[in-house]
Amino acid sequence: MGSATKPDRPGLIRRIAHLDMDAFYASVELLRYPQLKGLPVVIGGGRRREDDLLDRMRLLQPEREWTADHLSEIPVDVFPRLSGYVGRGVITTATYAARAFGVGSAMGVMKAAKLCPDAILLPVDFAQYRHYSRTFKDIVLDIAPLVEDRGVDEIYIDFTDVPGGQREGGRVLARLMQKTITDATGLTCSIGVAPNKLLAKMASEFNKPNGISIIYPDDLESKIWPLACRKINGIGPKADEKLRAQGIHTIGDLALKERDWLMQHFGQSHGAWLHDAAHGLDDRPVVTDSEPVSMSRETTFEKDLHVVHDRAALGEIFTRLCQQVAADLQRKGYVGKTIGIKLRFDDFQSVTRDHTLDHYTANPLEIRQVGGLCLKRVDMKRRLRLLGVRVGALVKVDSDEALHPTSHKPPSSKLTAQEPPAQKETCHEQADLF
DNA sequence: TCTGGGGTCCTAGGACCC
DNA sequence: TCTGGGGTCCTAGGACCC
């Protein structure tokens, strides 16, 4: 795939860009609240209504009007602080001023409140981030057609055949994108351009914020090998620990290892991948459209719940999660045939159970019924902190497969003896675990 | 005051089929 | 009696990413 499937055209070098919005969530918030610039701000925690701040201002200064146009005029001391937070949320993003206190993303908010109680706490506002995400992606799509989505603030772009994409190794096109995005949104981004996605991703981090880095094949030794193995997208904490145990700290250390040695210690597939990655090799194409594999909803409870004692509450939560997944599926036009549940116990241990049907569904009652059977297969020995519902093996609702499933399972008598429940019925009568 | 939510991909064993 | 492999699907768990 990728460069391998692309016929080599004389003069055209494969150039892949990775574009990463700089401190995306925090930057979007600062567009609305410029008065917070330079202050320790943390985004995450609970879900507050976005009008809360305006409501407080209406109380404090009833003589004047407070609408969404006046957000930038809200005094800094009116914003909620970390110290006032109660709950189990984690931090999504922290500004540099907040990071100076040791606060970082994925940290529990309560822990962060101890480190920096006076930091301002803003709720996450995905609707707002999605809006700016759409805006910058549309701008890039206008300039280059081959774009791969990597979440709300990241994309890969194939520069190879774009007019100007080869000039100065891609720098000219990258500059154009940066300027167009900043002019339209006030946000900055960093772009790396390299012969493949692996190197482009690393390059985009080199000059943050608002930077551009070009990596040529000759740069491998000087720019990539000195980096820590963790900088490779795909090497996480576990793999890094294993590598360290073998004395491998940098990508250069990794590149010194024989392919066979890596395959023996890390498995055929993973070992070969590690070897390729260390040598800057990556054939993956830029994938412009991909189908979802699964959709899920999960929630962590405010307090751990007991299967027996909190049965009613758990049942309601379970029903709501099923309704949400079903609504997600229906809104996006998908059906699935593998229904699964996920539990997390108070000791943070997680278990999953799933069941594959002989047909596809997006029916909330059927999802709840099958999910309920999955729940019964779990040994409930501890209190629960999380419950999730997942529907996998998705196909488009109007596809041939959805209408005529090619099932490899004999229909399970337990589940298909009766028709799937009609969608309008209620489902509180079922003798489920919850 | 530990540790969110929504995803993808891989592995490995067992079932089942040829 | 004995005994091959290959292939696919299902399930559970785990690593990793944004």
Q: Which domain holds residue A69?
A: 24-125
A344 vs A340: CA distance, rounded Å: 14
Checking each nucleotide's C1' against the CA of A387, the nearest proves to be: B5
What pLDDT does residue A47 have?
65
Question: Any idea what the CATH number is for the domain that residue A45 is in?
Answer: 3.40.1170.60
Question: Does A59 map to a domain?
Answer: yes
Checking each nucleotide's C1' against the CA of A349, the nearest proves to be: C13
Pick the catalytic residue: A29, A63, A154, A425? Answer: A154
Edge-to-edge strands of the sheet including A334-345? A294-305, A384-396, A334-345, A350-361
What pLDDT does residue A86 have?
86
What pLDDT does residue A17 have?
98
The CA–C1' separation of A387 and C15, in angstroms, is 21
Say if residue A256 is in the same domain as residue A200: no
Question: Does A283 map to a domain?
Answer: no
What tokens were used for A223? 């720019």
The CA–C1' separation of A251 and C18, in angstroms, is 23
Burial of residue A365, with CB atoms counted within 10 A of its CB: 0-12 exposed, 13-18 middle, 19 or more buried? buried
Question: Does A288 map to a domain?
Answer: no
**Domain boundary residue, one of A64, A94, A125:** A125
Say if residue A108 is in the same domain as residue A136: no
pTM recorded for the entire structure: 0.91
Residues contacting nucleic strand C by the 7 Å CB criterion are A 150-154, 201, 232-240, 338, 340, 350-356, 374, 377, 393, 407-409
What pLDDT does residue A7 have?
47
Question: Does A378 map to a domain?
Answer: yes
**Domain boundary residue, one of A64, A92, A125:** A125
Short-list A349, A365, A197, CA closest to A281: A197
Q: Residue A92 in 3-state DSSP?
A: strand
What pLDDT does residue A4 have?
42
Say if residue A165 is in the same domain as residue A119: no
A400 vs A295: CA distance, rounded Å: 20
Checking each nucleotide's C1' against the CA of A154, the nearest proves to be: C18
Enumerate the nucleotides of strand B whose atoms come under 7 Å of any protein CB: 1-12
Say if residue A406 is in the same domain as residue A427: yes
Short-list A251, A311, A304, CA closest to A281: A251
Say if residue A252 is in the same domain as residue A336: no
- Count of domains observed in chain A: 4
Q: Residue A300 in 3-state DSSP?
A: strand
Say if residue A60 is in the same domain as residue A163: no
Say if residue A232 is in the same domain as residue A261: yes
Say if residue A416 is in the same domain as residue A316: yes
Say if residue A190 is in the same domain as residue A79: no
Phi and psi at A402, nearest 5°, equal -65, -35
Question: Does A289 map to a domain?
Answer: no
A65 is annotated as an active-site residue: no
User: Which segments in chain A show pLDDT lower than 70?
Assistant: 1-11, 46-50, 408-431
The CA–C1' separation of A216 and C13, in angstroms, is 40
Say if residue A50 is in the same domain as residue A114: yes
Question: Does A192 map to a domain?
Answer: yes
Checking each nucleotide's C1' against the CA of A113, the nearest proves to be: B1
Question: Does A4 map to a domain?
Answer: no
Question: Any idea what the CATH number is for the domain that residue A411 is in?
Answer: 3.30.1490.100
What pLDDT does residue A175 have?
98
Say if residue A93 is in the same domain as residue A57: yes
The CA–C1' separation of A356 and B14, in angstroms, is 16
What pLDDT does residue A1 have?
40
Q: What is the pLDDT of residues A244-255, one digit of tens each?
A: 999 999 999 999
Question: Does A384 map to a domain?
Answer: yes
Phi and psi at A204, nearest 5°, equal -65, -15
What pLDDT does residue A407 have?
72
Checking each nucleotide's C1' against the CA of A85, the nearest proves to be: B1
Say if residue A73 is in the same domain as residue A178: no
Question: Any idea what the CATH number is for the domain that residue A231 is in?
Answer: 1.10.150.20
**Domain boundary residue, one of A209, A243, A278:** A278
The CA–C1' separation of A236 and B3, in angstroms, is 17
Enumerate the nucleotides of strand C whose atoms come under 7 Å of any protein CB: 8-18
Question: Any idea what the CATH number is for the domain that residue A198 is in?
Answer: 3.30.70.270
Residues contacting nucleic strand B by the 7 Å CB criterion are A 86, 88-90, 92, 106, 108, 110-111, 113-115, 267-270, 290, 292-300, 328, 347-348, 385-386, 388
**A284 CA to centre of own chain:** 20
